[in-house]
Structure 1
Amino acid sequence: MCPTRSSPARSPPPTWRNDVSDLQALARDLDAADPLRAHLAAFVEAPGVTAYLDGNSLGRPLRALPERLADFVQNDWGTRLIRSWDEQWMELPIELGDRIGRIALGAVAGQTVVADSTTVLLYKLMRAAVAARPERTEIVIEEGNFPTDRFVTEGVAAERGLTLRWISPDPIIGVQIADVEAAVTEQTALVVLSHVDYRSGALADMKAITDAAHAAGALILWDLCHSVGVIPTELDACGVDLAVGCTYKYLNGGPGSPAFAYVNARHHGVLRQPIQGWMGAGDVFAMGDAYAPASGIRQFISGTPPVLGMLAMQGMLDLIEAATIEAVREKSKTLTDLVVRAFDEELAPRGVRLLSSRDAAARGGHVTIGHPDFAEVTKSLWADGVIPDFRFPDGIRLGLSPLSTSHAEALSGVLAVRDALG
């Protein structure tokens, strides 16, 4: 990782003991000492769900959301009507992007915008990046990256007649500096990587890898979908060129909530995005004969912003700002540490494999475990109100969203996996 804002001192964990009741006592102790425990009550509880361990795929809604939605319908939309575009909605994508940048990304204002889906924003930034390096012929990407990243990269490469160079790292430790240094050449236009591996949770060294890409003269694009809102990230300090992330995981924006794009200010006026829509024009209401792009981050907006889709995440940003992203990260470590220890004591003896790093500093907010029976086990768990998610071919991801997940809930999920295995 790159430099982060100062993190609170982390208290040493209590002594680990080989007994389920001792693990449960430990979870209670961790929850009692948790400085973020008051935030647990801010989230909707799902009837019949005893352990929700999929916050890395879809965050829980906040209890305050229905009131926020009702106020929007009654006032912003119902009363102000189209006037709200002039009064607030036109600037919302940039204002909300600036909030995400300040609270979670280490990005100064004017570089982050909320718009479109992750897939569309990946395309925009990839296409703009390779167009800015017309003399170069390659894109570097990790072969196990999330399918969307790979599919979009393949499409851009096909459009531009570029060659793909694939990195094949150890899936548990993820992409290392040496992997990137071995892959990039003087022909590399763009490197595309995920900050946190969606399978193992492996956390990449953003600063060192960005430097390695730049040393070869390439641009780099980071996928932040599994790190934004759970890991302090310093895009500006790391010298990152481009980044994209979703808002429905640790930012709790709800299903289909829009993604965000980060474009470092040094590339404004240089990169030109390929989907030229009226909302990215320099004068939106000029209705001109030809497209003239806006000068800053607004250029990367294409169509009408999804205002309704931006509502839910605003409450979560309030919580993260109050808690601080550094404190969220510290709880993420204690949660995943507890799960790894419980794995050792309760699951490893049953033939379950650990598919994530044992080092909390080297993993993100989820822990992945593997077993040949996990496809059926997941169905059983869901039926019993324990909700992890299954990843082909035989992995279960235990996604632990720190503001909405207690240590006791995380431990109960591990014990439920044990019981389902028999």
Structure 2
Amino acid sequence: MTHSLEDARALDAADPLAGLRDEFSLPEGIIYLDGNSLGALPRATISAQRDAVERQWGADLIRSWNSNDWIGAPQRIGAKIATLIGARPHEVIVTDSVSVNLFKLIVAATRIQTGRAQILTEPGNFPTDLYTAGGAADILPDHVVHTEQAGDLVDALGPDTALMMLTHVHYKTGARHDMALLTEEAHEAGALALWDLSHSVGAIPVDLNGCEVDLAVGCGYKYLNGGPGAPAFLYVHEDLQEQLRSPLSGWMGHEAPFAFRDDYVPAPGVTRFLCGTPPVLSLLALESGIDLFADIDMGDVAAKSTALFNLFAARIEERCSGHGLELVTPRDAAHRGSHISYRHPDGWPISQALIERGVIGDFRAPDILRFGLTPLYLRFEDVWQAVEILGDILDSGVWREERFAEKAAVT
């Protein structure tokens, strides 16, 4: 079956999420396929940030910690994220970065797993997850990071495993782990389960409580559209909260930060995982992005993600066959996230030629072309046109020009 531009436009006309595109500030002439790396700017963020700067900061000054509830923002925004990941409102808090949150949870979790010294993960996990796990193991007596291929993870779980740490959706391939199955297997082995949701939250349904997940972290600047470097979040199951103690015992994690006592007593619940003063402007920008999900059915989001993927993959086969593109993302929607990736030995110059033509995806070394399928603002027509442009680039060979070979600092 050949998919025409008219077919794509018909899909857009029937899309229940089509109206959300107008909620974003998207530049004319650009097809944005990198929302899995940096989400687009919500229009509401612009006015909300103006209010935060001019009124809350400029006029109300320090009074805003109380009058505008700056002090409660980490918990308030965390509760909103909880609805997107199948968690209870008091189990999620917005704070720090994914890397810092991973460190806090890895150390806190392994310290209560007496007699177990293994942190189990997989090779090819996102680098910050691997690096942070290694750094945490370095300060934990006798602890080691052990990696196993995805198919061998269950067999690798054993009496020495303290923590299984995995990314739900792989950052390169888009492959999705079976969260419920692997969490259950970890528990059977006596281990705790920690999941990185950075490429899941806001794009596909997540049910942490339903899967009985112990711990999780996630990113605020991808599908949640919180802006560059937006604060991350962490989740701790309510049954574990009073057992765990953050290794970064900053003043905002104290039970009474404004008592200014010398001794540290952790706050009750997930608040104990706060550390320093919250970055208020960034928090409020993230809140604007999350508020867009308030009336959205994640089932509609997942269905559109699947349909966008299917159109993209079909169009590549129709328009770009014979040019060496190898699909590396699983075709089964239950086994993937919301981006589509292709392997090509010249992925970098091809990605740069695409950007020059107004199609912004990204490249992941050594050979992955990656395209984010963000259901809130991406149109089916965008997908059709993007593949048409890619076909033109491959047919013409323009990507071989020397100007496309130079690597940038960020790919």
> Considering the TM-score relative to the shorter chain, is it more than 0.5?
yes
Structure-2 separation of matches of 1:348 and 1:154? 42
> What's 2:267 paired with?
294
After superposition, the C-alpha distances for 1:130-179 in whole angstroms (9 at most, x for unaligned) are 111131011100111000000011111122131222112xxxxxx35xx3
Q: Shift of the alpha carbon at 1:74?
A: 2.3
> What's 1:108 paired with?
88
Matching residue within 118, 122, 126 for 1:138? 118
Structure-2 separation of matches of 1:95 and 1:63? 21
Structure-2 separation of matches of 1:297 and 1:105? 16
Worse-superposed segment, 406-415 or 117-126: 406-415
> What's 2:4 paired with?
23
Structure-2 separation of matches of 1:302 and 1:244? 15
Task: Name structure 1 gaps, 5 residues minimum.
Answer: 1-16, 169-174
> What's 1:166 paired with?
147
Percent sequence identity is 43
Q: Shift of the alpha carbon at 1:286?
A: 0.9
Are 1:96 and 2:69 matched, yes or no?
no
Structure-2 separation of matches of 1:36 and 1:301? 35
Q: Shift of the alpha carbon at 1:86?
A: 2.0
> What's 2:219 paired with?
246
After superposition, the C-alpha distances for 1:97-153 in whole angstroms (9 at most, x for unaligned) are 011002x11111211000101110010001111111131011100111000000011
> What's 1:84 paired with?
64
Are 1:390 and 2:370 matched, yes or no?
no
**Which amino acid in structure 1 is aligned with residue 130 of structure 2?**
R
> What's 1:151 paired with?
131
After superposition, the C-alpha distances for 1:281-325 in whole angstroms (9 at most, x for unaligned) are 001111112101001111000000111111222222222221222
Structure-2 separation of matches of 1:290 and 1:30? 61
Q: Shift of the alpha carbon at 1:350?
A: 2.0
**Which amino acid in structure 1 is aligned with residue 4 of structure 2?**
L
Aligned counterparts, 1:302-381, within 5 A: 302-381=275-354
In 1, are the aligned partners of 2:120 and 2:161 still within 8 Å (CA)?
yes
> What's 1:6 paired with?
none
Structure-1 separation of matches of 2:332 and 2:317? 14
Q: CA 1:167–1:23 in 2, change beyond 3 Å: closer, same or farther?
A: farther
Structure-2 separation of matches of 1:364 and 1:341? 18
Structure-2 separation of matches of 1:312 and 1:286? 30
The secondary structure found in structure 2 opposite 1:252 is coil
Q: Shift of the alpha carbon at 1:65?
A: 2.0
Q: Shift of the alpha carbon at 1:48?
A: 4.2
> What's 1:7 paired with?
none
Matching residue within 214, 222, 230 for 1:257? 230
The secondary structure found in structure 2 opposite 1:315 is helix
Matching residue within 4, 13, 22 for 1:41? 22
**Which amino acid in structure 1 is aligned with residue 281 of structure 2?**
L
**Which amino acid in structure 2 is aligned with residue 95 of structure 1?**
R
Structure-2 separation of matches of 1:360 and 1:40? 23
Q: TM-score, normalised by structure 2?
A: 0.93
Structure-1 separation of matches of 2:321 and 2:137? 43
Structure-2 separation of matches of 1:48 and 1:408? 13
Task: Name structure 2 gaps, 5 residues minimum.
Answer: 396-411
**Which amino acid in structure 1 is aligned with residue 391 of structure 2?**
R
In 2, are the aligned partners of 1:180 and 1:212 still within 8 Å (CA)?
no
Worse-superposed segment, 317-326 or 265-274: 317-326
The secondary structure found in structure 2 opposite 1:237 is coil
In 2, are the aligned partners of 1:251 and 1:313 still within 8 Å (CA)?
yes
- Aligned pair count reads 393
Structure-1 separation of matches of 2:233 and 2:321? 39
* Cα root mean square deviation, aligned: 1.2
Are 1:232 and 2:205 matched, yes or no?
yes
Q: TM-score, normalised by structure 1?
A: 0.91
After superposition, the C-alpha distances for 1:202-237 in whole angstroms (9 at most, x for unaligned) are 111111110000000001110000000011111111
Structure-2 separation of matches of 1:366 and 1:310? 26
Are 1:272 and 2:245 matched, yes or no?
yes
Worse-superposed segment, 330-339 or 72-81: 72-81
Structure-2 separation of matches of 1:407 and 1:313? 26
Q: Shift of the alpha carbon at 1:390?
A: 0.5
Structure-2 separation of matches of 1:90 and 1:30? 44
After superposition, the C-alpha distances for 1:218-268 in whole angstroms (9 at most, x for unaligned) are 011100000000111111111100000011000000001000000111111
> What's 2:164 paired with?
191
> What's 2:44 paired with?
64
In 2, are the aligned partners of 1:320 and 1:328 still within 8 Å (CA)?
no
Structure-2 separation of matches of 1:126 and 1:212? 19
Q: Shift of the alpha carbon at 1:79?
A: 2.2
**Which amino acid in structure 2 is aligned with residue 71 of structure 1?**
D
Are 1:403 and 2:383 matched, yes or no?
no
Matching residue within 137, 145, 154 for 1:181? 154
**Which amino acid in structure 2 is aligned with residue 318 of structure 1?**
D
Structure-1 separation of matches of 2:18 and 2:169? 25
In 2, are the aligned partners of 1:180 and 1:213 still within 8 Å (CA)?
no
Structure-2 separation of matches of 1:95 and 1:69? 17
After superposition, the C-alpha distances for 1:320-364 in whole angstroms (9 at most, x for unaligned) are 221222211111111111111112222233221011111122111
> What's 1:3 paired with?
none
**Which amino acid in structure 2 is aligned with residue 107 of structure 1?**
A
The secondary structure found in structure 2 opposite 1:275 is coil
Structure-2 separation of matches of 1:121 and 1:164? 17
> What's 2:108 paired with?
128
